[in-house]
Amino acid sequence: MADPTSLAAISGTLELVNKSVDLVRNLRKKGDDELTAAEMRNTLIDLLDDLVEVKSEFVSLKAVLLSKEEEIQELKAKLEGKQEVKFDGRLYWKEGDETAFCPVCKENENKLIHMIYYSGSREYSPSWYCKVCRNEFNEHA
């Protein structure tokens, strides 16, 4: 769904284009003989003003369009990233990446945060630690 600002800008631009077309049609209909030089000059000034405004509106619309295109690309990248990550029941993994991603950060914030692996010792079992949310996940739970 298009946002209201974009729709209003498009609608306004179309109105200006229609007004400009009507001015040109009136000029053609009346012909050179019926119009005084002052009327012709005023009509052309109005037409030029409208065309300048149309050009400005199109520049604004182009900026909106570019912004929307960037947003689409960002959303596509997020979607692709979401599809690349696999959940093994405890942790998230990406193919070709041997470092696990934090399930808490992924599920709560939708952020892929690499965790730190601790190989363990006699007192501690091997585990993954997230430096962002500070959760720890034992390797053999």
Answer with the one of 62, 83, 104 that is the final residue of a domain: 83
Same domain, yes or no: 28 and 74: yes
Question: 137 with 126: CB under 8 angstroms?
Answer: no
Same domain, yes or no: 45 and 11: yes
Same domain, yes or no: 12 and 65: yes
Q: How many separate domains does the chain show?
A: 2
- pLDDT in the model for residue 114: 96
Same domain, yes or no: 72 and 110: no
Same domain, yes or no: 69 and 48: yes
- pLDDT in the model for residue 136: 95
Determine the structural domain holding residue 55 and report its residue range: 4-83
Please state the φ and ψ torsions of residue 109, each to the nearest 5 degrees. -115, -5
Whole-structure pTM value: 0.45
Taking alpha carbons only, the member of 80, 81, 79, 85 closest to residue 99 is 85
Same domain, yes or no: 110 and 60: no
Same domain, yes or no: 27 and 93: no
Same domain, yes or no: 95 and 68: no
Helix (H), strand (E) at residue 129? strand 127-129
Same domain, yes or no: 11 and 77: yes
- Which residues in the chain land under pLDDT 70? 1-2, 5, 31-33, 81-83, 141
- pLDDT in the model for residue 103: 96
Residue 27: how many CA atoms within 13 Å on its side-chain side?
Answer: 17
Question: 103 with 87: CB under 8 angstroms?
Answer: yes
The 10 Å Cβ neighbour count of residue 121 is 8
Answer with the one of 64, 83, 102 that is the final residue of a domain: 83
Distance, C-alpha 47 to centroid of its chain: 34
How many residues appear in the chain?
141
Please state the φ and ψ torsions of residue 58, each to the nearest 5 degrees. -65, -35
Same domain, yes or no: 43 and 101: no
- pLDDT in the model for residue 133: 97
Question: 22 with 63: CB under 8 angstroms?
Answer: no
